[in-house]
Structure 1
Amino acid sequence: MQMENVSGVTLLYPEFLYGLKSYSLLFDKFYVYGLSSIPYLGVEENLKADVEFLKEKGVLVELPLDVWIEVGKEAHASEDYKKLIATFDNATVNAENVASDHDYFTRLASAKMAAKGVETVPICEREFPTKLFGAKTQPREVVMANTLRIGLNALPTPDETCAWEDILRFRADMKGEAWGFRRFLRDLTANEKPESEIREEIKWFFKQYSESMKTHQLKSSLTAIDVLMIPFGVVGKVLTFQWAELPKLVVSFKKRQVELREAEMKAPGKECAYVFKAQQQFRTQSKSAERAFTRPALSWPI
């Protein structure tokens, strides 16, 4: 799976909207079934306004209707789907059953999008039911979704005070770093590492990069003191600003910027540079140690 641009597939439900700022730090675009029904969804008006804004920016896109029709037809004819709903307690419509049902359709929609040449990752609440279908039956996009979930938990959680414009600007500025981080996650998935090892790898690479940047910033701070003294001189007993030295100051600052960029590119653990910069950018926001994907007990038309 290419990781330069990553799109998610999901259904429209309140919890997805509440976590959208977090998802948007890792995903570029979302194909959402039911997006046009946002005016009737029981959420705050500011969330509805956010959806309209993100639709204009191309971040939220309606899942093609023909894809959903194909999903519905295939699901109801599938033995796997029959096997799934056979596990439900028909006497009770509960959140667990609804989540499992919706996740099945979401994963199938992702597969249908792939068949049309659009690679996506299903955003689901529950893990793939390996006890029901067997561990070896996990689709590749499901394995990737599990790894991205781990990567998502390494990123900060922007709260409601964080403007969408700031998030989109950060994504644009850090596009290369985000690409590198997602490639790193893909490689971890390809090596079939267990989840605990993937978490440890991310922590270790982040630690290496963080320590390297702290060392470089300390060196840069010491150099900056010398640089700032360039345009000053003493005339008699008076400290004066020497305007003729100003170009040297500008060149010195540009040189420091180049040195910082070179240090970032060579730093150990650079695969997690995106996580490091995201935590710096949104460090005043709340963070969750483990982000659970919750879904309300809603029924969606097929």
Structure 2
Amino acid sequence: MKACRIHQYQGPTAVQIDQVDVPTPGPDQVRIRVRAAGINNSDLQTTYGKYQGYGHRGLPHILGQEAAGEVEAVGANVTDFTPGMRVFGHVAGAFAETALGPAAELLMLPQNIAFEVAASLPIAYLTAIMGLVCKAKLQPGEWVLIHPGSGGVGAATIRVAQLLGAKVIATASSAEKINYLRTLGADHVLHHRQQDVVAEVQQITKNQGVQVALDGGGHITLPQCLAAMGNGGRIVSYGYTTGLDATLPLVKLIGRNIQLSGIALWYNRDYRTTLTTLRDLVLPAIVKGQLQPVVNPVPGLEAMSDTLVQMEQNRLMGKLVVVP
């Protein structure tokens, strides 16, 4: 079968298409015929060796961590899935024609949800759910700052926040991305390269600050999120696209009674809860037409190297999905 692999940590240009053996599922695994696979910033970071999370066991390494498709085979202990079923979820080596996923981390896919849409959900929507529901415990009517908001997780967070009845302030780095976030339904969108995010947030909230902030940037954005918080606010940090190190003034953190949480999706005790919420909140909303995830399909595994290069250059918006 075809698979996108890296043999060295030399960035996205080193991604190549290899012929590899079809994997055999272990006792608790499911083999999936991949119909679509989500692309994430962590896949880009993996090509440099900066991210070696789920499914990484050294080089050569097949990229990809989430997929949707049909069950081809199951391990000896698997009873919930049988060949032919439509599934999606956490899948190691997803940038391939077939891949393995733990049965415990897969969900059944309704017939009226496309594979491309399903493949866009696991990482982005589980991160959004874990941040907003499990950590921040977002309530209806609260203000949430999504900084930045134009990536896959940002877009998912806007949609989940809306489903929960919250008011959304999102940020982006270009006029095109600002228009995109407006189409998603964000109540306010800020150009974080041209506007003072903290000052604008205070004006929007009448100097009360936001109750919740989702930070995906780290070095630059996390201190801004803290400065934009109201008393008793909750910040959830899930990424570091602007850098790993962030300096926070403790007087603001302590003086405003701020709760700061970091989340690593696969290694979190709330992971099972996020799966249940994805199944019970997000899937029904998609089926009813209340939620329409924005998916940008990438045709063919051969386009993966160029796609990751464009991602690195910040030229892409929304959730990218490769269709093998």
Query: Normalized against structure 1, the TM-score is what?
Result: 0.29
TM-score by length of 2: 0.27
Higher strand share: 2
Structure with larger Rg: 1
Greater helix proportion: 1
